[in-house]
């Protein structure tokens, strides 16, 4: 009889909801489950990116050539500087979140509110910076030509320096109707027309004999070819893109099919369109996480101001949202490393 009572008590203690696995509350445990599952999702995305990059390693865009903008420094090449600043701001917001959680353990309401506010500001700056980076990536800087075979060709001077289409192309004032379904002729709409037509670029290229064409293909210097190849500005010391001679350049320009300005899900002036697809998807997915974290932080912040957690005598909600925020920061470290640095 005693054994039966003991078993009943044991079952009641086990399933009565009082136990906390690993010493964590139900809310914290569920947050950890979410973080682990989300981490697996990001791992899959980055693995797919790495596989695609390895497969197209000879024509994959180089980050130092793509992300060269910095606010209020128009025309000044600053490769990766702004991305590094964004990373610093996001990591700084993670520090302020740690301070907010620590202040919550000490039941210091004003300090929790102050550090939560700093965290929110850091998150908003990061999201805004990412939107600005997207704008420049979509708009483009130099422009390029897509050939009939689908290759992207860029223009350089005789020193290997990139030349923008706007620097040498003169509009011929051609009239061309944009494809729109509202016209009743086209089956599907096209994007906005580029600044120049293929014919205008071809005519301008013929008028500038000093210009050459640079292809997507990347070469890595060896002892045999260092004497014959010139390193181009903006590329790594052991890498350079293929530059064609004038005759070969004229043939490639003659095969021009489309003028490409900036990047979207269909075309990319920097090279492989897969690069743009992964950029929009991975950074956009992470940006959505940051934006969601900012919204949650704002809700928690107002609850702190209202004294909700003072009444509960604990700031566990701040700690739980802190776990999420640290996860978002950690994911960005991997995105920054794989997408921008490697």
Instruction: Evaluate if residue 10 carries a pLDDT over 70.
Output: no
Q: What is the pLDDT of residue 180?
A: 57
- Res 75: pLDDT: 67
CATH number of 24-140+275-341: 1.20.120.80
62-80 pLDDT tens trace: 888 888 888 887 767 778 8
Window from 13-22, 107-116, 150-159, 323-332 with minimum mean pLDDT: 13-22
The pLDDT assigned to 239 comes to 67
Sorted by where each begins, the domain ranges of the chain are: 24-140+275-341, 144-261
Residue 194, both tokens: 């580029």
- Decide if 124 contacts 294 (C-beta within 8 A): yes
- pTM strictly above 0.85: no
- Region 138-162: mean pLDDT is 88
């Amino acid at each position: 009889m005693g054994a039966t009572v003991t078993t009943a008590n044991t079952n009641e203690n086990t399933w009565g909801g009082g136990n906390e696995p690993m010493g964590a509350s139900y809310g914290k445990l569920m947050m950890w489950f979410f973080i682990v599952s989300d981490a697996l999702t990001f791992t899959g995305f980055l693995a797919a990116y790495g596989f695609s990059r390895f497969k197209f390693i000879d024509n994959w865009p180089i980050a130092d050539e793509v992300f060269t903008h910095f606010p209020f420094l128009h025309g000044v090449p600053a490769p990766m500087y702004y991305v590094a600043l964004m990373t610093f701001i996001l990591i700084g917001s993670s520090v302020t979140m740690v301070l907010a959680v620590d202040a919550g353990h000490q039941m210091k309401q004003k300090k929790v509110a102050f550090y939560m506010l700093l965290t929110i500001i850091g998150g908003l700056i990061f999201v805004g910076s990412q939107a600005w980076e997207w704008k420049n990536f979509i708009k483009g800087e130099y422009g390029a030509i897509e050939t009939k075979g689908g290759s992207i060709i860029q223009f350089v001077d005789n020193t290997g320096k990139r030349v923008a289409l706007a620097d040498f192309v003169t509009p011929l004032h051609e009239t061309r109707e944009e494809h729109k379904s509202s016209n009743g002729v086209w089956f599907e709409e096209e994007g906005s027309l580029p600044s120049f037509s293929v014919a205008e670029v071809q005519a301008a290229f013929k008028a500038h004999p000093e210009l050459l064409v640079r292809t997507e293909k990347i070469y890595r210097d060896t002892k045999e070819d260092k004497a014959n190849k010139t390193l181009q500005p903006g590329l790594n010391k052991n890498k350079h893109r293929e530059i064609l001679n004038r005759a070969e350049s004229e043939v490639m320009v003659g095969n021009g099919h489309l003028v490409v300005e900036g990047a979207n899900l269909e075309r990319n002036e920097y090279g492989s369109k897969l690069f743009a697809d992964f950029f929009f998807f991975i950074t956009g997915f992470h940006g959505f996480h940051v934006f969601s974290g900012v919204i949650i932080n704002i809700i928690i912040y107002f609850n702190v101001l209202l004294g909700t957690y003072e009444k509960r005598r604990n700031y566990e909600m701040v700690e739980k949202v802190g776990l999420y925020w640290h996860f978002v920061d950690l994911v960005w470290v991997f995105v920054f490393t794989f997408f921008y640095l490697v």
